Chain A
Amino acid sequence: MNELIEMAKEFGTKLYYSFFRHRLDNTGLTKSKIMFSNVLLHIQPVKIHKRSVKFKTTMGLGLITFYLFLILSVTGILLMFHYVPSTAIGPDGLPDAYSRMLNLRSNVFWGGFLRNMHRWAAHGMVAFVALHMLRVYLAGAHRGGREFNWVIGCILGLLTVFLSYTGYLLPWDQLAFWGVKVGTEIAKIAPGGALIRGILLGDTDVGSEALIRFYVLHVAVLPAVMGFLIAVHFFRIRKDGGLAKPADTSKEKQIPDEEFGEVKNNSVFKSARSYKLVEIVKGKEPKVNEEVDQMMFAWPKLIVRELIVLLGVVAFLSLISVLFDAPLEGPADPNHPTNPSKAPWYFLGLQELVSYHGFIGGIVIPGILAAGVMVLPYIEIFFESFTKTYRKNIPGVWFAKERNLENALFIGMYLFMLSLIIIGVYFRGQNWDTIYPWVHEVTGGGH
């Protein structure tokens, strides 16, 4: 009998070690191995700076954005099983694409929930991209060798908006059609915009060709590009030494060491903490200074905290999706514009600007803002080089005094866009007249 148990144990051990290459105990070696011998190493290093897990450092904004991307990928693939990008009129007298939306709502088990998740996650992702960018700037994390990663981040932001926008058309209802129509009409104003619009739509107007092109962009092209750029974005953060942090963090209040879990020392050198020497990065000498004390194992604290954020996002999105249904209006009808016709909310600031002046509001201002924000770190460097006003750059510190001017301008720009969006969403009624949401019902889209 005992022999049998022994054999079973041996089998179990072999099985376990075929999956994992480490034990599960509290030793530093194991903690290192959990990261080092698993795919986790591709995302996170073995050891991280203590401040990385502090809520205040990032507020988890970039992570939330990434999780939303994952959720969108999963729900999106599930939705693809039920969707046809066709405007052909089906036997029920409705365009196929729209008919599929009705099916999701009524026939497909759990279909409504999936669509809600996808819709709300998409809007959430645009919002969190913006918040993440705000955080990075206000914490000065776009400087100190990370300038190009900022540019990649900006491209990712634009991709997010474009992904959301291409997805907006797919339900082929009035909201989708006119929302996209408004956006593509704005594109016409730009020099060369008519050509780009023509390539995107495959036609002179939003129609069946546009639906197919938007679909392919939405499910294949853009996610692939996005996945690749996310990899580059993450890789560069790792190579830049993790999250941006000031040179000296010894004065900062950190999460106490006990919180990171006990580390059993099974080394033969009982007095020394040999694992400190693990941290060798090319081009830098082994870290033997104060900072080494600030480094902690990524397992389990960081991984658990990241899981917390993931579960938080899933739980919150589920709650929203159970409570609120994604909008679906009547089938797209090019002959009957909704009044007002509103683009999705992230374009409503633009639409509001266009309502004042087509070229200046639709092309010049947003063009300057988008291009300006993308090369912002280089503009800063340019001014600092040519005016010789070197400011001490303190990466990873919120609202550094040295950067008050920049931060104020950046916040001002956000407030400007935010107020335009709020005006566009809530204070615009028929014929783009000013309304008050507490007096009139707000209609026309935007969500």
Chain B
Amino acid sequence: MTLLKRGLSRRRVLQTGMAGIIGTGIAPMVFTKGAWAQEFCNNPTGDTVTIGLNLPLTGAYAEEGADEQKAYELAIAHLNGEGDGGLISVLTPTALTGKGILGKKVAFVTSDSQTKSDVARAGATRMIERDGAIMITGGSSSGEAIAVQGLCQELGVIFMAGLTHSNDTTGKDKRRYGFRHFFNAYQSGIGLGPILGQEYGTDRRAYHLTADYTWGWTQEESMKAATEALGWQTAEAVRTPLGAADFSQYLTPVLNSGADVLILNHYGNDMVNSLTQAIQFGMRDREANGKTFEIVVPLFSELMAKGAGENIKGIFGTSNWHWNLQDPGSIAFTKSFGAAYGSPPSQAAHTAYVQTLLYADAVERAGTFYPPEVIKALEGHEFDGMGNGRTLYRAEDHQCMKSILVVRGNENPTSEYDVLNVVQEVDREATTYDPAIFGGDLGPAEPVPLCA
């Protein structure tokens, strides 16, 4: 039996024993939570606790990944009581002490996920198995987030998603161990729909170019639903591969399609490229069906706006957060990030920072790192001060319910960072939806799977 030749430690015996017990389906009857409460994956026993940052440092979303990394490092410094403390003082209610998490100093390990699901999973596994990460966070692609979230559920490690906007992350593919602070495509549709109707009228034909993976699909669906509710028609929806540098073959058919609005369901470099090329095709100077041709980018970020430069002017989209908001949380975060890195933070950086603090706060409130207790502390938790107004971590799907922003490319930017104007803040009541519409199943928190 090759399985037992080596490495027969106490842990292995327990683990194989556990697997056997679970396998026969009598697990819930045999052991109670109390007896196993402290036996879980990477239980930190020393005086440090390690967080795994899984970031795309190469690939189509590399720029977001780099900004997220800055935010994570800042958040960890603040948790350890270094720097100016950032948002720790504005989070309400708070259990954070500025002395690490539960008195343990926070350390981190990183992994480049290359904007690929396979690689992201391998990186997360390495950080859990080798480096002993208690929590995994990061990612700026929904494909990655869903893949890593599934893995974390398998291994019993909490995943705090970074930038992921697909409905599936907290919809069809939601997991008990996965949490998302960022908003989603459905909420973008709710926010953007009325503004588009108001600005562009109710008689329009839209052409979608969609990044061909989970985020693109759900955003296309949500945008179709929102615009068709206004009375718009959808001329066609075309899928484009992630990371394609040249979009001209997809843009040419738009000109002859009879459409008068182009909706770009692209993000990161893809959006920068497709938008720039669309403008080079002269799309914004065209008239179609007797109306000015318009371009809409449903998910916007400052980093992309910067990359697209002039082309972004006057274009509508939505954002999770913007550094120019005037609430105390946003001001404190922009100041602290600016002092450390010399530029205002992006929405990716904001969500990364907030997720780290929320995890630390949940652990403090739970009084333990034991994942099911931390999950309970996060589920249904209501907090304020993080820049999006009063926010609820909804228990049904682990999606944060908060206000979102409708933004527009700035016509007269005063600096290279002042590229977006906030048109409207859509409040939490308006963006709240019924979690049941996307289906999915969170799965159980217990028994806690034991990683190797």
Q: Are A and B associated in one complex?
A: no
